[in-house]
Amino acid sequence: MTATVTKTSSSAEPSDSAESRSMKNWIKPGLGVLLIAGIIGVVFGPSEAWLLATTEFIQNMGVTGALIFAGAYILGTIFFFPGSILTIGAGFLFGLLGGVVVVSVASTLGALAAFFLGRYVAQDVVRKKIKDYPRFNAIYRAVGNEGFKVILLTRLVPVIPFNFLNYAFGLTDASWRQYLAASWVGMTPGTIAYVYIGAVAGSLTQAIAADGPPNWMSYGLFALGGVAVVAATWLVTRRARQEFDKIVDEEARPEQKTGQIEVEHVVPRLEPADEFNDKLVKNTHPPGWSNPDPGEVYNFIAIGAGTAGLVAAAGAAILGARSAIIERKLMGGDCLVTGCVPSKALIRSSRAIHDARQLSAYGGLVEGEVTVDFGRVMARMRRLRADISEHDAATRFADMGVDVFFGDACFTGPNTIVVGGRELTFTKALIATGASPIIPPIDGLDEVDYLTSETIFSLTELPERLGIIGAGPIGSELAQAFARFGSSVFVLDQAERALSRSDSDGARIVQAALDRDGVHSIFCAKIEKVEAASPGSRSTKIIFEVDGELRDIEVDALLIAAGRRPNVANLGLENAGVRFDDKTGIEIDDRLRSSKRHIFAAGDCASKFQFTHVAEAQAKIALQNALVFGRKKATDLIIPRVTYTDPELAEVGLCEDEAIADGLEFDVIKYDFEDLDRAITDGETAGFAKVLLEKGKDRILGAAIVARNAGDMISEMTLAMNEGIGLARISSVIHPYPTQAEAIKKLADEYNRRRLKPWMKRWLERFFAWMR
């Protein structure tokens, strides 16, 4: 590994200077003096007659006048006209009760209009302006925890100008209903106070215009009422200020704790060091890469350059958004480097070797044994992986218009993220950081060498004996591949069978194939301990319990394949207010929004379906929902899943075991490949196609296929489920003969045959007899 370390300073909130604070302390009293002077001038000045005439004219318009005034008030709120002036004017024109009603409605609707403009139209402009108000980041986070209360308090405490605050709240996670209710309640005390001032001014104007001596008692009551209103408003505001400061100061702590950040930017080195791995690194994390200047606000940032991040970042750039992507290791993520691509390359080699050994069954002749050059197998995998890496190359995405950053990403606020010592500001973000292998708490595991799905593809020598802990898809696929390469493979799992979450009929056929290939499977095994086989030995002894009996086996290499855990640590998610769990990942809703509505998550870091094709599909949903006002739901996805053993087990929707466990009523149709012409000619009769249907109907609930290329066949069933096509209609689709995919048509034909009830057949027999 090579690393460069960059230090960057993240300061706490800037404090106002003494001169600035002094100036602010004079603003409110100064405005108060001007306001009183204005009222006195209006009441006692020469404009008295004109005001009375204008007031009388508007009042004579009735409801129309109130509506016109309310419309002007709404526009004034949107265009930053001081609301206090309009509110006082409403009291002058409509009196205390009428003024409060008109202003309450108009100010709330105006605030809501600005809220929507800030959320959907002017995000970038508002985002830039927010930088002038450092405390807003803390307010932003607080809204996520106590939305109604925080919005209410900001209406009572003028920490940020009200009219701009309307726009700023549009960037938060507050719903418009929550915002509307809190704003109306919070603005009511101020509305009453200012309307009262206007109403007093109006009453005084009318009293002075009337003939007769001054009514000093009325003036005194007006003054006493004004003092009471001001005192009540001051008390409410003071208490609100104390509560607001308490909440915001608590939320501001994550910002203040940052201090000096030491950023370690690692350029990964893959083993072994050869031309193929060098090519891979040059494409996906070019040495010497200079991160671009962040510049202006990004419309969209993807954190993680795996499948989800790449799809979303590229899509955003294609749409014309300012887009960036951040990756700490290699672009392409697990799928390219340690997952789909390398594993399928090995599986293909193992199939070819297996087919060569079976050549005599097809009329061929092999002299001697088929030998395996494991070094060449792995070199082929690395070459293919390096070639495919061009699809995920940093330069390719930069040419698309995506700003590519390398380094560890860390949120510093709800709209800011630091990478490589530079702060990026964004409007929308997608967290797509993937997952990592789970390392179970096995006694002694830390003291021995072991492999994971991230390191096994660096092997250059075939282990004579390979132990695998975990009989899920990864463990089963690699167990069969290495057995075919010539390793003695031992698989241990605490479950009762392999592929415990898959269709049991299919899993049995897969297990039989593993058995034929020489894989030793041990189920219901509780791993007690692992240790070195002998002092100084590189071999490992696995000690486990089965049926109350302690056993042990020795292996030359140990692979941990016990599942994957989402990558959510060290991202600063707390600073952004994003809720997450170390085991289940980032909390998202059906539209893939996190607890912060503008931050989305997709792929393995947030989904229980940890597949590349799911990450891609979710990335597209997140992109639409983030940038083009989409309302796509992740639960609408019909997700196929494939275990790439030989034969493959492909499934979509419910499996039969799940349906039984859930107590569902369903019909099942199964077609065995023993009766399928193409499977017979291929010598691949150990397989089937199965479909689950809603009871008494042809609506497909799920399907399972076991075949050598089942992954290529399952899409027809996925399409039918996705488009709501019943099984009966598939019968009318012509399938080429002979193909293994014809098994799906056989299912549909069987469904149609079952629809012919015995009583129908009897009537048809009578009809045809009559026709003869």
At residue 151, the pLDDT reads: 77
Q: Are 623 and 612 in contact (CB under 8 A)?
A: no
Q: How far apart are CA 575 and CA 254, in angstroms?
A: 6
Average pLDDT of 302-317?
A: 96
C-alpha distance from residue 157 to each of 161, 233, 484, 657 (Å): 10, 11, 72, 59
Using DSSP, state whether 431 is helix, strand or coil.
strand
Q: Report the top-level CATH class of 273-287+295-437+565-636.
A: alpha beta
C-alpha distance from residue 522 to each of 105, 450, 493, 496 (Å): 72, 19, 7, 9
Task: List pLDDT tens digits, range 598-648.
Answer: 999 999 999 999 999 999 999 999 999 999 888 899 999 999 999 999 999
Give 418's strand partners: 410, 423
Using DSSP, state whether 249 is helix, strand or coil.
helix
Q: Are 324 and 298 in contact (CB under 8 A)?
A: yes
Tokens of 229: 């209103």
Domain range list for the chain: 24-256, 273-287+295-437+565-636, 445-560, 647-759
| Average pLDDT across the chain, whole number | 84
At residue 16, the pLDDT reads: 40
Between residues 77 and 397, the one the model is more confident about: 397
Task: List pLDDT tens digits, range 196-236.
Answer: 887 777 676 655 555 555 555 555 555 555 555 556 555 55
Task: List pLDDT tens digits, range 435-490.
Answer: 999 999 999 999 999 999 999 999 999 999 999 999 999 999 999 999 999 999 99
Tokens of 118: 């800030």
Q: How far apart are CA 83 and CA 530, in angstroms?
A: 73
Q: How far apart are CA 132 and CA 127, in angstroms?
A: 10
Average pLDDT of 411-416?
A: 91
Residue 585: φ, ψ to 5°: 95, -155
CATH topology of domain 647-759: Enolase-like; domain 1 (3.30.390)
At residue 88, the pLDDT reads: 83
Could you tell me the pTM of the whole model? 0.75
The rounded percent of the chain whose pLDDT value lies above 70 is: 80
Q: How far apart are CA 620 and CA 304, in angstroms?
A: 15
At residue 12, the pLDDT reads: 34
Same fold, 273-287+295-437+565-636 and 445-560: yes
Using DSSP, state whether 355 is helix, strand or coil.
helix
Give the CATH architecture of domain 445-560.
3-Layer(bba) Sandwich (3.50)
For residue 83, is pLDDT > 80? no
Strands 298-303 and 323-327 come out as: parallel
Which of 48, 53, 616 is CA-nearest to residue 315? Answer: 616
